[in-house]
Amino acid sequence: MAGAFASIAGAQQQPAPLAVHTLKDNISWIEGGGGNTGVIVGQNGVIIIDTKTTAAAGKEILDDVAKLTPKPVTHVLITHSDGDHVGGLASFPMGLTIIAQENCKKEMEASLTSKNPAPSDHVPTKTVGNKESLTIDGVRFQLFHWVPAHTSGDMVVYLPDQKVVFTGDIVATQTPYPRIHMEKNGSSEGWITTMKGVLALNADNFVPGHGDLQTKADLQKRLADAQARREAIQKLVAQGKSLEQIKQALGEPNPSGLTYPSFNEVVYTELTKKD
């Protein structure tokens, strides 16, 4: 579990300064310092989606929010348990409502005994299963978990009135293929199912876990590429090819600095795993 929480943080030795981007009148997203962060200003308070890697970045999020509105942060939605999405909670005030998928909470709790724990005093206070609709401060949200994908506890956040989706690391644009944490029971097949669910939502703007704003066409291409790559690996496995032979045949597109398996390795492991 420790490696999972440290994987992205370790690759970002000098995080870029946080940059605030306005998406809609009451919706912004903040990049830098870890995974992207969502900021939704409600009638009386502010809802945050993901909190970056460190306590310092968490404090910077709160400082940026204070420049946008005098309203207090009241809720945090967590898309998944990776340290670069939950670490900043350490600087957030106590007493917040923290919402996550039920398996995400389990992963955060399991990390508490690791070398890179989630903030122990900011574990989720409310969990969701597969789907939940709720209104927070006058803003409608729909929260979705289809199956394990990037992790076992992914939660996609959809704002139906604004047609905006926060995908978490279901989409991370630094890599051309999905990022899957096998040690958190993620699944390449589950990622495909999840992406199909995301694309079925009536949305125009998609804020990824990492990278720039995405369109539906961007995500459709990402899905098609992942399906084609998975099918190609499946054919090569059926021919008895080794992982190294598959890497040579298909290429191994994975940026340096990432410490978890590439999409090739994940799919190969899944297809050759003995029950």
Q: What is the pLDDT of residue 259?
A: 72
**Rounded Cα–Cα distance for residues 186 and 179 (Å):** 9
Q: Residue 107 is encoded by which pair of tokens?
A: 């992963």
pLDDT by residue for the chain (275 residues), tens only, comes to 434 444 444 344 555 679 999 999 899 999 999 999 999 999 999 999 999 999 999 999 999 999 999 999 999 999 999 999 999 999 999 999 999 999 999 999 999 998 889 999 999 999 999 999 999 999 999 999 999 999 999 999 999 999 999 999 999 998 899 999 999 999 999 999 999 999 999 999 999 999 999 999 999 999 999 999 999 999 999 999 999 999 999 988 766 666 778 999 999 999 998 75
DSSP string, 14-78: SPPPPEEEEEETTEEEEESSSS-EEEEE-SSSEEEE---SSHHHHHHHHHHHHHH-SSPEEEEEE
Q: For 30-49, how does the pLDDT look when each residue is reduced to its tens digit (9 = 90+)?
A: 999 999 999 999 999 999 99
Where does 2-216 sit in CATH, by number? 3.60.15.10
Q: Which secondary structure element, helix H or strand E, spans residue 165, and what is its range?
A: strand 164-172
Q: What is the pLDDT of residue 80?
A: 98
In the chain, the amino acid numbered 101 is Q
Phi and psi angles of residue 212, each rounded to the nearest 5 degrees, phi first = -85, 165
Q: How many CB atoms lie within 10 A of CB 238?
A: 9
- Please give the DSSP secondary-structure letter assigned to residue 118: P
Query: Which region holds residue 52: left if phi is over 0, alpha if psi is between -120 and 50, else beta?
Result: left
Q: What is the pLDDT of residue 170?
A: 98
Q: Residue 53 is encoded by which pair of tokens?
A: 């890697």
Q: Residue 255 is encoded by which pair of tokens?
A: 């940026």
Q: What is the pLDDT of residue 137?
A: 96
Asked if residues 86 and 61 have their Cβ atoms less than 8 Å apart, the reply is no
Q: For 170-188, how does the pLDDT look when each residue is reduced to its tens digit (9 = 90+)?
A: 999 988 999 999 999 999 9
C-alpha distance across the termini of the chain, in Å: 23
Does this model's pTM top 0.75? My answer is yes
Q: Which secondary structure element, helix H or strand E, spans residue 9, and what is its range?
A: helix 2-11
Q: What is the pLDDT of residue 248?
A: 93
